Amino acid sequence: MKKLMLGNEAVARGAYEAGCTVASAYPGTPSTEITEAIAKQYDEIYSEWAPNEKVAMEVAIGASFGGARAICAMKHVGLNVAADPLFTVSYTGVNGGLVIMVADDPGMHSSQNEQDSRNYARASKVPMLEPSDSQECKEYVKKAFSISEQFDTPVIVRLSTRVAHSQSVVELNDKEDYKIKDYIKDAGKYVMMPAMARKRHVVVEKRMADLREYSDSSELNRVKMDSDDIGVITSGIAYQYVKEAMPNASVLKLGMVYPIPEKLIADFASKVKTLYVVEELEPFFEEQILKMGIKVIGKEKLPVIGELSSQIIAERLLGKAIIDASKQSVPVRPPVMCPGCPHRGMFYVLKKLKLNVSGDIGCYTLGALAPNESIDTCVCMGASIGVAHGMEKARGTEFGKKTVAILGDSTFIHSGITGLIDIVYNKGNSTVIILDNSITGMTGHQQNPTTGFTIKGEPTKQVDLELLCKAVGIDRVTVVDPFDIKEFEKVVKTETQIDEPSVIISQRPCALLKNVKYEGVQKINQDKCKRCRMCMKMGCPAIVDKGEHLEIDPALCVGCMLCTKVCGFGAIEKAGE
Amino acid sequence: MEKLNILIVGVGGQGTLLSSRILGNVALKLNFDVKVSEVHGMSQRGGSVVTYVKFGKKVYSPIIEKGEADVILAFEKLEALRCIDCLGKDGKMIINEQQIDPMPVIIGKAKYPENIIETLKENNKIYSLDALKIARECGNIKAVNIVLIGVLAKLTGINKDIFVEAIREVVPAKFLEVNLKAFEEGYNYHN
């Protein structure tokens, strides 16, 4: 049977067909749908949202040690969080097959940096595969499980946004009958203390040698000879661009991107006059091939920044001119906080109070853009708290009193909590605002430990943020509705001035949640409106300036009534039918 | 028809992703190779959204680049203007006449261009309509996407029933009636 599937959905299907039974992840674009699809479609696989990627990987490692085939999924920056267990599970190896999915985001469609996860494969000495469409996503995941068991190693499968988030045709197969392996106590293999780890490092090096040999003969690495003039070595989505831009070139498509097949590459290189390496981001293949003494053309012509495309390849390698339509300048349209977004009220207050705001990763990062322009910093998940603490230590208490850290509920659980502990333990003074919108918003509404539901929507224990903060030593915890602007402002003023650390829980559900019902569309009564433009300060996309007057777009307004609260003339009212 | 490259542009939250799924489904029913590419995340609400639907005998790159689109489905006027250089030489563009001001315009840092549709009509084959109004009349303003798919269905000349079937498979049952009505309205709009 053939089906149109997202790359991520195909990964889920591959895990299912391989008989995988445990999946753990923390959501991160563009990897999120892998675990969502597993939870939704394959009851045979236990699935969960973990508090962060490190935990997700540890759970998958445990499941593998326990004898099951296990998978964990994350985005590239998530692999940074999970890097600690990764480097050691490379030493222990596996019992049941262990597959680590990582989705890179060249072009940074929704990421804070543009890193190339292939470097992690090399650094941790773990083999890595890279599919180029949905069918391969499914096949490579299955292959990864078998390589994992054959070579006693975790296997990383790398995706990129254009593979993870594009749909293509997948041929479905039946589920493999995988029997969970016995659990065998083996401290020499699984307890990585120095004496044992030293021995395992030797094993890892031997395994690398075996994998190099495997890579040379694996069907994952395919040569298609055509022209003798031009040969291209490529992988993943770049392969698709090459096929489109250079239909007559001979191609060595690498499905196994680490370790690379050196003999195969040398043989391929000897058969073509000009050899190109086409890879997105880092010169990862290029450097290794150059080291083999083979001349290739790669990054001297192609960019290390952003995504490739067939037109970039045609232009840079074949010298074809790109159609460059001179178009008029069109206003940009950056993403904005939704109408009804609870963060809008908070940013309104923070801006009004002219605070320094240490920000974090989530929808609310958009608060850095106009008109809010309220966020000063954003580094990585959970960083807001540590950064605020550091600023205070650098610049003193008075600066600290003009500073707040803001982060979402899910982000706080992910890696904010340790920062908060640091503040308490080291006698900091910071004010932390947790934006509790009852869901993980940015990645598209995933449950998390603060929502009270599992990935399957089953009710579970809910982290009590108030109690949690008190438990780590915060004595001042205040829960306040960000749409109650007066009260919110009062609380922020008080808490920033106090000589002790404090937490404000800004609590109001995401406007996109199905159970959130507002009052209905609002309109501006033009007779009462004084054109003072206070309502415009909210940065609500539904309020538009028509030149002569202001208007609320009924197609966008959800009726949160935040604008009615800032209007001093009572000019905003419920729109009639 | 040997291949069809459809570019869908709009504003996050307008239903562009669902449209690409329906069109992908149509391609599958026609036994084409097909790729649908979408970028989402980072609360794309309110931001520019671009998705690509490509069918043909064999599709490699999931992306439609400059001059490669056979049809552009624009959910908003400004987004139509933004992507016009992707339209191929004999390409057609379907535009929903809705205007959604982007934040730089709302806060007065940029100006929403005037006469977009007239400008685009000078050099391109444009089919424009007020799909929001039509969707509202059908009973749900969220059906804008299906109105536009209706227009597209007529232009492609692909059997209408295939579209209807694809819509039935993708749209949830409780919205189906409104959406099928919206599809008909779109289909019959440009004669």
Is A557 assigned a ligand-binding role in the annotation?
Answer: yes
What pLDDT score was predicted for residue A323?
64
Residue B44's pLDDT band, with cuts at 50, 70 and 90, is low
Q: Return d(Cα A478, Cα A502) in angstroms, integer.
A: 8
State the Cα–Cα distance between residues A76 and A117, nearest whole angstrom.
6
For residue A289, give the 3-state DSSP assignment: helix
How many domains does one find in chain A? 4
Count of pairs with CB atoms under 8 A, one residue in A, one in B: 172
Torsion angles phi and psi, residue A39, rounded to 5: -65, -40
Instruction: Please provide the size of chain A in residues.
Output: 577
Q: Are A358 and A380 in contact (CB under 8 A)?
A: no
- Say yes or no to pLDDT of B46 above 90: no
- Average pLDDT of the segment spanning A478-493: 98
Are B39 and A109 an interchain contact pair (Cβ–Cβ within 8 Å)?
A: yes
Q: Which residues of chain B have a CB within 8 Å of the CB of A443?
A: 41
For chain B positions 136-155, those within 8 Å of chain A (CB to CB) are 141
Say if A327 falls within a structural domain.
Answer: no
Rounded to an integer, what distance in angstroms lies between the CA atom of residue A435 and that of residue A480?
10
Structure tokens at A401: 């009193």
Give CA separation, A223 vs A235, A251, A268, A509, in Å.
Answer: 12, 6, 8, 53
Which tokens sit at A94?
Answer: 């596996």
Tokens of A115: 């890193």
The alpha carbons of chain B give a radius of gyration, in whole angstroms, of 16
Cβ–Cβ < 8 Å for A283, A298? yes
Residue A60, φ and ψ in degrees, nearest 5 = -65, -40
Same domain, A265 and A143: no
How far is Cα A36 from Cα A30, in angstroms, rounded to an integer?
Answer: 12
A72 is in an annotated binding site: no
One domain for residues A293 and A375: no
Residues in B closer than 8 angstroms to A331, CB to CB, are 78, 102, 104-105, 110-113
Cβ separation B62–A162 shorter than 8 A = yes
Sheet holding A230-235, edge to edge: A221-224, A250-254, A230-235, A274-278
Task: Give one word for A179, left, alpha or beta, with left for phi > 0 and alpha for psi -120 to 50.
Answer: beta
Domain boundary among A184, A217, A250: A217
pLDDT of res. A325: 58
Total residue length of chain B: 191
For residue range A56-74, what is the model confidence (pLDDT) as tens digits? 999 999 999 999 999 999 9
| Beta bridge pairs of residue A551 | A544
Q: Do A323 and B85 touch (CB under 8 A)?
A: yes
Strand-pair category, A502-507 with A476-480: parallel
Q: Which of A319-323, A363-367, A496-500 has the lowest mean pLDDT?
A: A319-323
Residue A457 covered by a domain: yes
Question: CA nearest A167 in B: which residue?
Answer: B36
Question: Hey, is B124 helix, strand or coil?
Answer: coil
Mean pLDDT of A117-132: 98
Residue A563 marked in a binding site: yes
Would you say the C-alpha torsion A40, A43, A45, A46 has a positive or negative sign?
positive
pLDDT of amino acid B39: 77
The answer to whether position A326 is within a domain reads no
Q: Is A348 among the domain residues?
A: yes
| pLDDT for position A478 | 98
Using the predicted structure, report yes or no on whether residue B43 has a pLDDT greater than 70: no
In chain A, which residue's Cα lies nearest the Cα of B136?
A555
| Residues A350 and A470 both lie in one domain | yes
Instruction: Using an 8 Å CB-CB cutoff, list chain B residues near A347.
Output: none
Residues forming a β-bridge with B10: B49
| Tens of pLDDT, residues A254-306 | 999 999 999 999 999 999 999 999 999 999 999 999 999 999 999 999 999 99
Look at B61 and A244 and tell me if their CB atoms are within 8 Å. Answer: yes
The domain of A311 spans: 222-318
Residues A488 and A445 in one domain: yes
**Is residue A182 domain-resident?**
yes
pLDDT for residue A310 is more than 90: yes
| Residues A472, A529 within the same domain | no
3-state secondary structure of B153: helix
Q: Which of A330, A343, A446 should be substituted to probe chain B, the one whose Cβ sees the most B Cβ atoms within 10 Å?
A: A330
pTM: predicted TM-score of the whole model, two decimal places: 0.96
pLDDT of amino acid A576: 75
Which of A166, A334, A539 minimises the CB distance to B62?
A166
Q: How confident is the model at residue B32 (pLDDT cuts 50, 70, 90)?
A: very high
Helix (H) or strand (E) holding B14: none
Of residues B40, B65, B107, nearest to A309 (C-beta): B65
Q: Give B-chain residues touching A27 at CB under 8 angstroms.
A: none
Q: Which two tokens stand for residue A544?
A: 């538009």
Q: Which of A318, A352, A384 is the last residue of a domain?
A: A318
Query: Does A338 contact B43 at a Cβ distance shorter than 8 Å?
Result: yes
CATH assignment, B3-187: 3.40.920.10
**Torsion (CA) A111, A116, A117, A123 in degrees, nearest 10:** -140
Q: Is A510 labelled as part of a ligand binding site?
A: no
Question: Closest by alpha carbon to A417, among A427, A405, A402, A429?
Answer: A405
Q: What's the average model confidence in pLDDT over B47-63? A: 96
Provide CB contacts within 8 A for A576, sequence distance 6+: none
Mean predicted lDDT score pLDDT of chain A: 96
Structure confidence at residue B38 (pLDDT): 87
Between chains, do A327 and B59 touch, taking CB under 8 Å as contact? no
Q: How far does B66 lie from chain A, in Å, by closest CA?
A: 7
Residue of B nearest to A331 (CA): B110
Q: Output the domain CATH number for residue A229.
A: 3.40.50.920
What is the pLDDT, as a whole number, of residue A330?
Answer: 92
| A272 located within any domain | yes
Collect all residues of chain B within an 8 Å Cβ-Cβ radius of residue A161.
39
Same domain, A364 and A446: yes
Query: What secondary structure letter does DSSP report for A440?
Result: B
Residue B101 with chain A: CB contacts under 8 Å: 541, 544-545
Please report the DSSP string for A219-261 in residue order. Answer: TTEEEE---SSEEEEEEHHHHHHHHHH-TTSEEEEESEEES--
Which residue in B46, B105, B106 is closest to A335 by CB distance?
A: B46
CA neighbor of A10 nearest in space, from A161, A238, A172 = A172
Q: What is the mean pLDDT of residues B92-121?
A: 95
A155 forms beta bridges with A99
d(CA B84, CA A407): 39
Q: Is the CB of residue B51 less than 8 Å away from at least one CB of chain A?
A: no
Instruction: Tell if the CB–CB gap between A328 and B81 is shorter than 8 Å.
Output: yes
**C-alpha–C-alpha distance, residues A518 and B104, integer Å:** 27
Residue A328 or B10, more confident: B10
Residue A137 assigned as binding residue: no
User: How many other CB atoms are there within 10 angstroms of residue A172's CB atom?
Assistant: 13
**Confidence tier at B53 by pLDDT (50, 70, 90):** very high
Q: Report the CATH number that the domain containing residue A541 is assigned in CATH.
A: 3.30.70.20
Question: A463 burial class (0-12, 13-18, 19+ CB within 10 angstroms)?
Answer: middle
**For residue A330, is it within any domain?**
no
CA pair distance A535, A568, nearest whole angstrom: 9
**Is residue B70 very low, low, confident or very high in pLDDT (cuts 50, 70, 90)?**
very high
The dihedral region occupied by A354, where left means phi > 0, alpha psi between -120 and 50, and beta the remainder, is left
pLDDT band at A328 (very low <50, low <70, confident <90, very high): low
Q: What is the CATH number of the domain that holds A435?
A: 3.40.50.970
Q: Check whether residue A139 and residue A19 sit in a common domain.
A: yes
Among A163, A197, A217, the domain boundary falls at A217
Amino acid at A330: V
pLDDT classification of A214: cutoffs 50, 70, 90: very high
Of the candidates A423, A416, A343, A431, the one whose C-alpha atom is nearest the C-alpha of residue A381 is A416
A247/A352 same-domain check: no
% of chain A at pLDDT higher than 90: 94
CB contacts of B65 in chain A (<8 Å) are: 309-311
First to last CA, chain B: 21
Same domain, A501 and A531: no
Contact check, Cβ <8 Å, A331/B44: no
DSSP string of A111-145, one letter each residue: -S----THHHHHHHT--EE--SSHHHHHHHHHHHH
Q: Does residue A137 belong to any structural domain of this protein?
A: yes
Residue of A nearest to B25 (CA): A4
Judgement on whether residues A25 and A144 belong to the same structural domain of the protein: yes
Q: Is 80 exceeded by the pLDDT of residue A461?
A: yes
